[in-house]
Amino acid sequence: GDSVTQMEGPVTLSEEAFLTINCTYTATGYPSLFWYVQYPGEGLQLLLKATKADDKGSNKGFEATYRKETTSFHLEKGSVQVSDSAVYFCALSVRAGSEKLVFGKGMKLTVNP
């Protein structure tokens, strides 16, 4: 079945550090890939997306590139801020049947000043 494997953390970084969160996937068909962010006590917000191979999603300084050859969608940010402290989820959706989202387990990031 479809699945997502991501770094679980928790991870603590200092402000302005470089961030990488690894995400790999297994899917039948050609999935769309997503990163969602969850701030404390809230629901999920879409951070960025990519719908086909070699697409790069970007938003708020975060980037991720859809790599079909390595089945990966790693999230990166060059300089994190305290306000980036949150839980980050990698997810996929396959355009077949219900098109439901399949999530990784999430990674909690804390950024200290």
Partner 1 sequence: DGGITQSPKYLFRKEGQNVTLSCEQNLNHDAMYWYRQDPGQGLRLIYYSQIVNDFQKGDIAEGYSVSREKKESFPLTVTSAQKNPTAFYLCASRDLGGSNYGYTFGSGTRLTVV
Residues near partner 1 (CB under 8 A) are 8, 32, 34, 36, 41-46, 49, 51, 89, 93, 95, 98-101, 103-106
Q: Which is nearer to partner 1, 13 or 101 (CB)?
A: 101
**Alpha-carbon span 23 to 104, nearest angstrom:** 8
Backbone φ/ψ region at 70: left (φ over 0), alpha (ψ -120 to 50), beta:
alpha
Smallest gap from residue 100 Cβ to partner 1 (A) = 6
Q: Which is nearer to partner 1, 64 or 106 (CB)?
A: 106
Element (H, E) at 66: none
Smallest gap from residue 82 Cβ to partner 1 (A) = 22
Q: Which is nearer to partner 1, 60 or 100 (CB)?
A: 100
CA angle 81, 70, 75 (to 5 degrees): 10
Smallest gap from residue 103 Cβ to partner 1 (A) = 4
The β-bridge partners of 92 are: 33, 102
Q: Which is nearer to partner 1, 57 or 84 (CB)?
A: 57
C-beta separation of 35 from 88 below 8 A: yes
Smallest gap from residue 35 Cβ to partner 1 (A) = 11
